[in-house]
Amino acid sequence: MTRADAQRNRQRLLAAAREVFDEQGTGAPLDEIAHRAGIGNATLYRHFANRRELALAVYAEEVDALCARGAALLDADSPAEALFTWLHDFLTNLAARRELAVLDADQPGADLSGRYARWHKAIHRTASDLLDRARAAAAVHPDVEAADLLRLTSAIALSDADPHRLLRLARHGITPAPHDR
Amino acid sequence: MTRADAQRNRQRLLAAAREVFDEQGTGAPLDEIAHRAGIGNATLYRHFANRRELALAVYAEEVDALCARGAALLDADSPAEALFTWLHDFLTNLAARRELAVLDADQPGADLSGRYARWHKAIHRTASDLLDRARAAAAVHPDVEAADLLRLTSAIALSDADPHRLLRLARHGITPAPHDR
């Protein structure tokens, strides 16, 4: 098998895994992922040693895609819309992948914390860039920090409520500004 | 022992339990609670069959106190301040008692769900009363519901962030109203 074949198999497995995880969660049978990718189980395990590695590879691609989307949104007309479009995307991704946190808690590893740290840094930089632009346009309150937005979004994503409704509520505030501030 | 003595012992145990749980969490040694109350272990177990019963009795009193505080706040001058003072109290309580959720998940019981349903109803009624008054004063956006406030506050309480900062952020909104709405 050439390197190009191997790369193609890896991409097919990741695409199938994303589909199956979306439908059934990260506990879905790996057999089904291999089947849907049209690839043998042995090949799956050659690429991904276990479920966690596969799930983390899916997540790594999603983090890259989120950061790329954030960078593209820096060219959008409305800095506020760009920031919240991205936060809603981030929220959707977190809500869909909340099981990953459980998966990790079960099997901690040294490399894992390094990966998480890189992802966290990349996500934080993306949020900061969008926030800086919104702040320069006076489209957010000046004392709001990127860490606030990421923590609030994470908290909302992990709850059982309708997360997008709660994020919209936080965007506009519970009280009508500015007389109550 | 008279009924008044028994009632006094129960109150001393609950007061001691609240202190010790605040310091050490709901996993604190029951011996220490009995010791601090100046009451024997056997008496503690006569009042509370196990750790969960004791923790739930503490929580039941806290829910009553929260609801009483909410009712008192209906007389406060500013409906918005009253609502948010209560939400911050609720947040403090939830953040302090987040272990209770874990305790319950470990040992589910039929009576428990009944108790939770009663507490939920009492808390929801308190929040609704405060919200109605704030809404009548146009101090909150008209489409905000009590369930939104309770869910958002719960989500924030269970996160690892500074919960009071995030609740203030949600109160006033991330964006300056109203041009962005």
pLDDT digits (tens, 9 = 90+) for A14-33: 999 999 998 998 889 999 99
Q: Is A176 on the interface with B (CB under 8 A)?
A: yes
Per-residue pLDDT at B179: 45
Per-residue pLDDT at B107: 53
The three-state DSSP-derived secondary structure of chain A is CCHHHHHHHHHHHHHHHHHHHHHHCCCCCHHHHHHHHCCCHHHHHHHCCCHHHHHHHHHHHHHHHHHHHHHHHCCCCCHHHHHHHHHHHHHHHHHHCHHHHHHHHHCCCHHHHHHHHHHHHHHHHHHHHHHHHHHHCCCCCCCCCHHHHHHHHHHHHHCCCCHHHHHHHHHHCCCCCCCCC
Q: Which chain B residues are within 8 Å of A147, Cβ to Cβ?
A: 161
Contact between residue B91 and residue B152 where contact means Cβ atoms under 8 Å apart: no
Q: Which chain B residues are within 8 Å of A138, Cβ to Cβ?
A: 176
Contact between residue B47 and residue B95 where contact means Cβ atoms under 8 Å apart: no
CB contact under 8 A, B151 and A171: no
Instruction: Identify the residue with better confidence: B142 or A85.
Output: A85
Q: Please tell me the distance from the alpha carbon of residue A101 to that of residue A97, in angstroms, as a whole number.
A: 8
Average the pLDDT over B77-92 and give the result: 94
CB contact under 8 A, A173 and B173: yes
Per-residue pLDDT at B181: 39
Q: Please tell me the distance from the alpha carbon of residue A171 to that of residue B6, in angstroms, as a whole number.
A: 52
Q: Which chain B residues are within 8 Å of A181, Cβ to Cβ?
A: 172
Q: Please tell me the distance from the alpha carbon of residue B167 to that of residue B156, in angstroms, as a whole number.
A: 7
Contact between residue A30 and residue A41 where contact means Cβ atoms under 8 Å apart: yes
Most A CBs within 10 Å: which of B174, B179, B181, as the mutation test of the A interface? B174
Q: Is A81 exposed, middle or buried (0-12, 13-18, 19+ CB in 10 A)?
A: middle
Residue B42, number of CB atoms within 10 A of its CB: 8
Whether pLDDT at B159 is above 60: yes
Average the pLDDT over B55-68 and give the result: 94
Instruction: Identify the residue with better confidence: B174 or B87.
Output: B87
Q: Which chain A residues are within 8 Å of B155, Cβ to Cβ?
A: 155-156, 158-159, 161, 166
Q: Is A158 on the interface with B (CB under 8 A)?
A: yes
- Please list, in sequence order, all residues whose beta carbon lies within 8 angstroms of the beta carbon of residue B157, skipping any fewer than 6 positions away: B91, B94, B95, B98, B163
Average the pLDDT over A153-157 and give the result: 89
Highest mean pLDDT out of A128-132, A158-162, A167-171? A128-132
Buried b (16+ CB within 10 A) or exposed e, A1-18: eeeeeeeebbebbbebbb
CB contact under 8 A, B165 and A148: yes
What is the dihedral angle through the alpha carbons of A127, A96, A156, B179, rounded to the nearest 10 degrees?
Answer: 50
Buried b (16+ CB within 10 A) or exposed e, A94-111: bbbbeebeebbeeeeeee
Q: Please tell me the distance from the alpha carbon of residue A48 to that of residue A76, in angstroms, as a whole number.
A: 38
Per-residue pLDDT at A146: 93
Mean pLDDT of all residues in chain B?
87
Nearest to A170 among B154, B161, B169 (CB): B169
Which 8-state DSSP code applies to residue B176? P
Peptide bond into A178 cis (omega under 30): yes
**% of chain A at pLDDT higher than 70:** 89
Per-residue pLDDT at B175: 81
From the list B18, B19, B45, the residue with the least C-alpha distance to B31 is B45
Q: Name the amino acid, one letter, at A170.
A: A
A to B CB pairs, distance under 8 Å: 115
Q: Please tell me the distance from the alpha carbon of residue B161 to that of residue B153, in angstroms, as a whole number.
A: 12
Q: Name the strand (E) or helix (H) holding B164.
A: helix B163-172
pLDDT in tens, B93-136: 988 887 775 555 455 554 567 888 888 899 999 999 999 999 99
Contact between residue A115 and residue A60 where contact means Cβ atoms under 8 Å apart: yes
Residue A155, number of CB atoms within 10 A of its CB: 25
Q: Which chain A residues are within 8 Å of B152, Cβ to Cβ?
A: 156, 161, 166, 169-170
Per-residue pLDDT at A86: 96
Instruction: Identify the residue with better confidence: A111 or A121.
Output: A121
Residue A37, number of CB atoms within 10 A of its CB: 21
From the list B66, B63, B51, the residue with the least C-alpha distance to B21 is B51
Q: Please tell me the distance from the alpha carbon of residue B181 to that of residue B178, in angstroms, as a whole number.
A: 5
Instruction: Identify the residue with better confidence: B94 or A106.
Output: B94
Per-residue pLDDT at B110: 47
